[in-house]
Amino acid sequence: MSHPLFSPFDAGDLHLSNRIVMAPLTRNRADNDTGEVNDLHVEYYRQRAGAGLIITEATQISPEGKGYISTPGIHTEAQAEAWKKVTDAVHAEGGKIVVQLWHVGRISHTSLQPNGQKPVAPSAIAADVKTFTANGFEDTSEPRALALEELPRLIDDYRHAAHLAMKAGFDGVEIHGANGYLLDQFLKTGSNKRDDAFGGAVENRARLLLDVVEAVSHAIGGGKTGLRLSPFSPANGIDDANPMETFGYVIPKLNRFNLAYLHMVEGATGGSRELAEGESVAKLRQLFDGAYMANNGYDRDLAMETVDSGAADLVAFGRPFISNPDLVKRLETGAALNEGDRDTFYGGGAKGFTDYPTLDAA
């Protein structure tokens, strides 16, 4: 009898063959000028179609949303057409795939922005971290604060990207509300010092995120819409004075959208799962009525235990999917995993992208 981790599961409108999710993984191999994916991406995602669900690498919703060199977009018809080759390949293998909708906010550099403009943010506060440009890793540029009248346009950028995602054949979208990017910047007190309807009290700081979720879920259906949050992660220089209060407010508000799932980074992104006193993933998870996707430092044993206990419905794996295209098969059989080549994680060609061996090939 197969373990529940390897059994089918319905997350909203997404009918998944198993509960193992390929987490979004930035790989910096798209065309830097057009934001279009290429044949390498088609093969990369096709190889990993054994995942119950693939979440693509973070994909910007507008030229302004770009924060790293050679990341893909989903804001032009040509980008959607390029992604269609990926979705067709994944579907031909029986897989499901959603695109992660991304606006980096202040985690950018003027060299990556249209006309060399300043990146945008809730407030004009630099992140004091680095981003990846044509010159390698550089300090992020000082942002400008978004004007109140710009926010409807921003929400419409998410809506437009979601419509293009459907044209591109995606099974849904995941809104990136985590890891210190724009929506997280509005949510958290360390980066949001506004004194208007989008700043101050948690009800105001959460407004943009909830407006975006509403716009996207109304555009394509809540059952095709997921959301990623990282309540306790300091990624990209972000912090919040009281994350339990902030996310204790946000998460129950999501229930009215009937989302496909809530995807949560448990602890520090790509780091420790340890939390400060009073912080609790379990308490926040209980506030959400739909499918819950756990992420951060999961291995085979922890994933099986977590699904067994009902603490999560789905488990996302990140780096193991880079080096193991057949990760689901390896987890199911208890086979050894390939080691990843960190030198090829960000940027390059086929090496370290599409050339990792499967069990069958080995």
User: Taking the CB of residue 360, how many other CB atoms lie within 10 A of it?
Assistant: 7
Whether 143 and 120 have beta carbons less than 8 Å apart is answered as yes
User: Which of helix, strand or coil describes residue 293?
Assistant: strand
Pairing of the two strands 314-317 and 292-295: parallel
Q: Is 205 exposed, middle or buried (0-12, 13-18, 19+ CB in 10 A)?
A: buried
Which of these, 25, 35, 21, lies nearest to 352 by C-alpha position?
25
For the four alpha carbons of 165, 169, 170 and 171, in that order, the dihedral sign comes to positive
CA nearest to 121, candidates 207, 35, 184, 57:
184
Specify whether 181 is catalytic: yes
- Which ranges of 130-267 does DSSP label H, i.e. alpha helix? 151-167, 182-187, 202-205, 207-220, 243-254
Choosing from 68, 158, 181, 261, the catalytic residue is 181
Residues carrying an active site annotation = 181
